[in-house]
Structure 1
Amino acid sequence: MTETTGTRSVRTGTEAAPRPAAPRRSGVRPAAAGLPLLGAVITLAAWWLVTSGLQLVHPVSLPPPQAVWQALVAGADVLLPSLGVTTTMTVVGFLLSAVAGVLIGMALAASRRVERMFAPLLVAVNAVPKIALGPLLVVSVGWGSKPILTMVFLLCFFPIVLSTATGLTTTPADLAELARSLNASWWQAFRKVRFPAALPQIFVGLKVAMPLAAIGAVIGEFYSDKAGLGYQILQYNGIGDTATAWAAIVLIALMSILLYSALSLVERLALPWVRATTSAR
């Protein structure tokens, strides 16, 4: 209660109730776009400082950013079509490995015997240095897209298999008990409970595999007649044009960032409940 005396007001009794907190604004925060841009600026500044400012690295080994930009502009008629080839090989190989990896992971999660039989073999295949298989792939599957897609598959499938099997075998106990209490069949429990609960873990494996797909595509192009960015890196490096070779490397990095961001967007749209049920950073 508040008593008024003259021009002063004296508060007595119960204090006034605090104002409710303002609702959190939704939408994209400015930092979401500004921080990646700031990181890119800092990286370019460090690159320029090492190559041009302090001249710690010879420009033949690592050209300065302005030289790479000039080479990118001058060689755009060659590099941009090669970017399309590499992007296509990366996406197609990633999709193939995603489908196969999820199916193999489901098979491992469905049967402990299958897991014990084939898990060591999968580990052994993943442990083989993939670059050593490049010349053998050309002999085995021939030229063209096949060695590139095979290399992408070999690099991508293991994290997808592992994340799928892990997600399907770590269903929360309360959800599994709920399915049993409702007398759900195996297929109903899998479709309604186990697989949706495993999707966040599966997307972790997919996001790990996406940059590996770009690496696999470039390595495959080293041993293929497809004129992708990996092929162009070998060609320009062979004639001593390291600036254009580094321009191709920068395009590969940008392509990987865009594909990873697209996959993250798909995850956010496909799994809206994850952000609502987990702590936000």
Structure 2
Amino acid sequence: MPGPVAGAGLDLFPDASNDDPARAAARRAFAVKAATVVGVHLGVLALWQLAVVLFAIPVFVLPSPRATLATLAQPHYSWLPNVSVTALEIFGGYLLGVIVGVVGAVAFSWFRLVAAILLPLFVTLNMVPKVALGPLIIVWFSYGIVPNILIAFSICFFPILLTTARGLSEVDPDLLDLVRSLKGSRWQLFQKIQLPGALPYLFSGMKVGAILAVAGATVGEFIASERGLGYLMIQVQAGLDTAGMLMAVILLTLLGVALYGLVLLLERLVVVRDARIQ
């Protein structure tokens, strides 16, 4: 039975000389979709600019896109250091969430007793509001990047754990019986059957986790931080610097889009199209 295998994404850039109608149609559909996405975003920017001009909206309420972008040239915001700190928190917490989530899902799959003991505990811990957990993490680990990485991790790892565990458990019983009848080891069963079948579920959880990691890092910076985009937003809020706050929100969004895009690219490389979970 064919399954998601590594290298399945080698057809992302097919040789034009070996083109076929299906691939050409897929490329045209992708181009139309990309143009639509870009057009919608440009339309929102145009409406934003038009609304500011027509209704004479005060700058402290809603600055124009031009005024918002102009903040990037102002050195007192320290955009690059703050973006770097927030990016480290987001990507660090997300990577830790992926590692712990996948390892935990494999442990649940291999050892039913571990799943019976720990899964209810993880569900309970996940119900704790992260805004309430944040001050405790700050007390335990002090200020800095590490607490915010842990907050981002605490928010994003649970969906990765659950979806991956589900994927590892949804294996065709006939395949399991076949591998066991051939004296296959647990590792062979995992490598050849469970892991390929669980990849679509893993990436589904990783997409959700990518969104939550951004929220987690931002929550951590709101609670207590000395650097980062969330910290910067708190600082400029006192002066009603709406342009600075909007620019910080835009940069946070771009970081999230970049992380989500990396997950999508990796999914295209290792999971065949028909097996992907949208």
TM-score, with length taken from structure 2: 0.82
Q: Which residue of 2 aligns with 1:150?
A: 150
Q: Is the partner of 1:24 in helix, strand or coil?
A: helix
- Alignment of 1:41 onto 2:49: no
Retained in 2: the 8 A contact 1:148–1:221? yes
Q: Which residue of 1 aligns with 2:21?
A: 23
State the partner residue of 1:19: none
| Other-structure match for 1:228 | 228
Which runs of 5 or more residues in structure 2 are unaligned? 1-19
Whichever residue aligns with residue 153 of structure 2, its letter is F
Which entry has the higher C-alpha Rg, 1 or 2? 1
Q: Distance in 1 between matches of 2:276 and 2:103?
A: 30
1:180–1:52 Cα change, 3 Å = farther
Work out which structure has the larger RCO, using CA pairs closer than 8 Å and 6 or more positions apart in sequence: 2
Partner SS, residue 22 of structure 2: coil
Q: Is the 8 A contact 1:156 1:212 kept in 2?
A: yes
Residues 248-270 of structure 1: CA deviation (Å, up to 9, x unaligned): 01110011111111111011112
Cα root mean square deviation, aligned: 2.5
In structure 1, the gaps of 5 or more residues are 1-21
The residue correspondences of 1:188-227 to structure 2 (distance < 5 A) are 188-227=188-227
1:172, distance to aligned residue in structure 2 (A): 3.1
Match of 1:10?
A: none
User: In the TM superposition, what are the counterparts of 1:96-115 in structure 2 within 5 Å?
Assistant: 96-115=96-115
1:146 Cα deviation after fit: 1.9
The one-letter code of the counterpart of 1:185 is: S
Q: Flag the structure with higher helix content.
A: 2
Percent identity over paired residues? 38
Q: Give the structure 2 partner of residue 257 of structure 1.
A: 257
For residue 239 of structure 1, what is the amino acid of its counterpart?
A: G
Q: Give aligned pairs, total.
A: 256
C-alpha distance in 2 between matches for 1:25 and 1:42: 30
| Residue 48 (structure 1) shift | 3.6
Which residue does 1:134 correspond to in 2? Answer: 134
Matched-pair contact (CA < 8 Å) for 2:77–2:232: no
Kindly state the Cα deviation for residue 177 of structure 1 after the two structures are TM-superposed: 4.2
What is the CA–CA distance in structure 2 between the aligned matches of 1:180 and 1:106, rounded to whole Å?
19
CA contact (8 A) 1:75 1:244 kept: no
The amino acid across from 1:41 in the alignment is: L
Letter in 2 for 1:147: P
Equivalent residues of 1:145, 1:224 under 8 A apart = no
Q: Secondary structure at the match of 1:183?
A: coil
**Conserved in 2, the CA contact under 8 Å of 1:138 and 1:224?**
yes
SS in 2 for 1:109: helix
Cα displacement (A) at 1:280:
11
Following superposition, the deviation at residue 227 of structure 1 comes to 1.2
Matched-pair contact (CA < 8 Å) for 2:167–2:199: yes
